[in-house]
Structure 1
Amino acid sequence: MNTLRLGFLRGGLEIKQFLRSRESVVFTLAFPLILLCVFGAVFGGEIDPGVTFTQYFAAGMVAAGLLSTGFQSLAIQIPIEREKGILKRLRGTPMPRAAYFVGKVVMVLAIGVVETVLLVTVATLFFNVDLPATGAKWLTFGWVSLLGITACTLCGIAFSSLARSGRSGPAVVTPVAIVLQFISGVFFQYTQLPEWMRGIASVFPLKWMTQGMRSVFLPDSFAAREPAGSWQHGTIALVLTAWIVVAGVLCLLTFRWTERD
């Protein structure tokens, strides 16, 4: 209980530090909104009867927003904290080490909720994207978001060990996030991508997160346009859960409190 209490206190501090960093706020919160507005304004046609490109793109951007909040932000922030010696000093305090990670999770969840609300609000008000009409779709929205952001958070913590310094973090992380968005059906219709590209994307969480979000924001008839001919909710849950387990093990094995040298 003491660890959780300290973790939530640490989470409040993490949120304050995030909001005080203009670069983090703009990159994590504003950038997905800008992309949604730009692509929504440029591409307005239908990709299927009754389904506009904006509807398809908005579903993908909600998933991409969770990737940005969980994976990209942590994989960039943690190397900076490691380089500045913040992690080394925290390790030397009486605070349980687990409280640090609880604080990161609290920050990611809070920012992720804000990001998702902003994206859904803008898509609904300005691009006529319909909100989920049934309780089952809202339930799907909830568990896909929770599993997705958990997998992305753990992947971000594990991936943070690859950057040799705080300055190299964005150069290492950003290309990975951008490539995943291009091959996972965020910017383009997934079935129009080459088969080999779809095969690579299917290994990573973002492809399944976008597919889950499409099942929420697109009509059920569109499931026939998916590669498997259905939404594959069971497979989505299985893959995201597997990534949570794998990324959690990688965090335990690879996380470093100090720089390599």
Structure 2
Amino acid sequence: MTEETRMPGIGRLLAAQIVYQARLLAGGRAIIIGVGLPVLLLIASQGRHTDTAADTAAAAGYATFGLTLTAWNTYGVRLVAARESGVLKRWRATPLPRWCYFLGRILATVVVAAIAGAATVAAAALLFHTRVTVSGALAALVVFILGACAWAATATALTAVIPTIEAAAPTCMAVYFPVIVISGVFGSISEPSWLTTIAEYLPAQPLIHALTTALGHTAGQPWLPTRDVLVLAAWAVAGLALAITTFRWEPHRPAQRRGVRPQRVPDRGIA
């Protein structure tokens, strides 16, 4: 292979893929919804909060909302659309390693989703003087990355059972909204107790709790709650493992029913 035709290194390929996918994901309505909607809800909710702890919890909840909107809904719908339109099939035929495309797409989603969550926290700090320390910001960044990985990996696994582009958004939203509602994104839910217990093991409530702890971090306290980090890590690993085994590169093709084959009638001529 000559110098002119030699492929770039894996590092350059992966970096280029991340930049390319991030530009696609951050364009248009995705970043507007992921950033604008949580910030508007945060502004509208400020009249109900009277103390610093409530402000921090609200900022964490709406930042989680922005992050998950991007890492779950926007990412999942776009992935199904790319598969059903044949984009993934064409990418698969290129010299780019499959894992490089796959990882680049997820990492790009993590970057954009983390930016969406951070924008909500920044709005809370600027508009409502929510106190965020340097150590708290660093801990929050770790939570954003881990949470976005968990949601994006799980969304990748879900795409295997979504057959069409038209079904992508309804399916993602049907799974998404019950999870974030019972997890307390829009306010805590204490009853029934069995529902709150379930929410503790879903990827939204641990994300909110870990982010609240990170933003309220003070000297002498642990950066992040271990249990929440383990739950998010488990969702990320399980989602990625399931995605690897079930992911589809080819578009779904509806099964075609075979018609009844007409019987051949011998040509006997005209009597």
TM > 0.5: yes
Query: Does the CA-based 8 Å contact 1:88-1:257 persist in structure 2?
Result: yes
Matches within 5 A, 1:48-63: 50-51=51-52, 53-63=54-64
Q: Describe the SS at the equivalent of 1:187.
A: coil
Matched, 1:6 2:13: yes
TM-score, with normalisation over the residues of structure 1?
Answer: 0.83
CA distance in 1, matches of 2:40, 2:139: 26
Give the C-alpha shift of residue 217 in structure 1.
Answer: 3.0
CA distance in 1, matches of 2:85, 2:252: 13
Which stretch shows the higher mean deviation, 120-129 or 22-31? 22-31
The code of the aligned residue for 2:49 comes to G
Matched, 1:24 2:30: yes
The code of the aligned residue for 1:203 comes to Y
Change in 2 beyond 3 A, CA 1:249/1:37:
same
The answer for the alignment partner of 1:258 in structure 2 is 250
The code of the aligned residue for 2:248 comes to R
The answer for the alignment partner of 2:264 in structure 1 is none
The code of the aligned residue for 1:5 comes to R
Query: Which has more helix, going by share of residues?
Result: 1
- Cα-Cα RMSD: 2.5
Give the C-alpha shift of residue 28 in structure 1.
Answer: 2.5
Q: Describe the SS at the equivalent of 1:160.
A: helix
Query: Does the CA-based 8 Å contact 1:14-1:104 persist in structure 2?
Result: yes
Q: Describe the SS at the equivalent of 2:184.
A: coil
Structure showing greater relative contact order (alpha-carbon pairs closer than 8 Å, 6 or more residues apart): 1
Give the C-alpha shift of residue 232 in structure 1.
Answer: 7.8
Give the C-alpha shift of residue 55 in structure 1.
Answer: 2.8
The answer for the alignment partner of 1:103 in structure 2 is 104
Matches within 5 A, 1:113-192: 113-132=114-133, 135=135, 137-190=136-189, 192=190
Aligned residues: 244
CA distance in 2, matches of 1:45, 1:24: 29
Matches within 5 A, 1:193-204: 193-204=191-202
The code of the aligned residue for 1:72 comes to N
Q: Describe the SS at the equivalent of 2:160.
A: coil
Change in 2 beyond 3 A, CA 1:45/1:39:
closer
The code of the aligned residue for 1:58 comes to A
Gaps of 5+ in 1: 224-229
Q: Describe the SS at the equivalent of 2:11.
A: helix
TM-score, with normalisation over the residues of structure 2?
Answer: 0.80
Matched, 1:45 2:37: no
Gaps of 5+ in 2: 1-7, 254-271
Which of these two proteins has the greater Rg computed from alpha carbons?
2
Q: Percent identity?
A: 24
